[in-house]
Amino acid sequence: MRQTWLLLLFLVLSSCSEARAQRLVWWNVENLFDCRHDTLKDDKGFLPDGEYRWTRSRYWRKLDDLSRTIAAIAGDDAWPMIVGLCEVENDSVLHDLTRRSPLRRARYAFVHEESPDERGIDVAMLYDSLQFRLLGHEARRIPSEENGFRPTRDLLHVWGKRTPQGDTLHIIMAHLPSRARNGRKGEMHRRLAIATLCRLLDELRGCDVLLMGDFNAEPRDRIFRDVEQRLTSLMPQSRKELKEEKGSYYFRKTWSYIDHILVSPSLLNKIDGSVATGSLPFLLTKEGTPRRTFKGPAYNGGVSDHLPIWVDLLSK
């Protein structure tokens, strides 16, 4: 009998000591605008009488769908610890998402800074305060105008302690300029953003760092050469892997990964599995591609033209 109780105690203690995973999500949510005009932004297209006919009913439907997606991504016993977002207009949409949509039951807090982007779209972060204790954040400006480019999105750097283990995690979120939109000039602008990012990474050398973002570039793109001297990409790299994996973005009949997650060497042994892509049925068309919110200026009723990606970080 005594041996039986000892065995049961061992099994209980073993199960308690298992490392729990904390989920880290990245998602480009495609033009998450409210329906009100901001005189400091070029948002007139996203008004009820604008080019996109962006009404309150369409806006609230999108928030409901975003909530549904984040709930579907949640693990068995916890919400994602971090949800990085881009193409977010302002803190009003984040307030509506976290306090007035079905996602309010998750009790997320958020971090956001207004950037100088002319379209008025920024990066932002939701965090579960039961799993992450915010210590600080900063918006790192990319010197676009000083170098002859239109202003673009800031890098968002957030740091805090994971709970209950107490180790400090630095999270950087990025949405780099598009090369496709501006050709060679767009490529030069992306390189400027990468140089700014690398200076920040150098300041954080020796820290636990997670980088998430829409880089408007595939994993094998040369812009990652400098970044990958500092961080390790978790995305598929070889041509075989890229062929087997669909991707997070579908454009001109081609799948690609332009959304990325990279980590510092100190976090590599804490990554549980590989990066997952949210190919959830309600995010897809009948053809299996992302169901966009818009096709050109026409309302398409989908959630986003990107699929969310995520990775699990072991808590021990």
* pLDDT per position as a tens digit, 254-277: 899 999 999 999 999 999 989 999
Query: Stretch 147-174: mean pLDDT, rounded?
Result: 95
What pLDDT, on the 0 to 100 scale, is given for residue 2? 39
* pLDDT per position as a tens digit, 219-258: 999 999 999 999 999 998 766 665 666 899 999 888 999 9
* pLDDT per position as a tens digit, 22-62: 999 999 999 999 999 998 888 999 999 999 999 999 999 99
What pLDDT, on the 0 to 100 scale, is given for residue 156? 98
3-class DSSP state for residue 122? strand
Q: Which domains does the chain have, with CATH numbers?
A: 20-306 (3.60.10.10)
* pLDDT at position 66 over 50: yes
* pLDDT at position 191 over 70: yes
The more confident residue out of 174 and 164 is 174
What pLDDT, on the 0 to 100 scale, is given for residue 219? 92
Residue 12 near residue 71, CB atoms below 8 Å? no
Q: For residue 175, what are the contacts with CB-CB under 8 A and spacing of at least 6?
A: 28, 86, 87, 121, 122, 123, 153, 213, 214
Q: Amino acid letter at 290?
A: P
* pLDDT per position as a tens digit, 119-152: 899 999 999 999 999 999 999 999 999 999 999 9
* pLDDT at position 80 over 60: yes
- Cα four-point dihedral sign 250, 255, 258, 263: positive
- Cα four-point dihedral sign 78, 23, 277, 216: positive
Determine the straight-line distance between the first and last CA of the chain, rounded to whole angstroms. Answer: 33
Residue with tokens 């309150």: 56
Query: Stretch 106-119: mean pLDDT, rounded?
Result: 95
Sheet with 109-112: strands ordered across = 109-112, 122-127, 82-88, 21-32, 309-314, 271-277
CA distance 33 to 42: 11
Mean pLDDT computed over every residue of the chain: 90
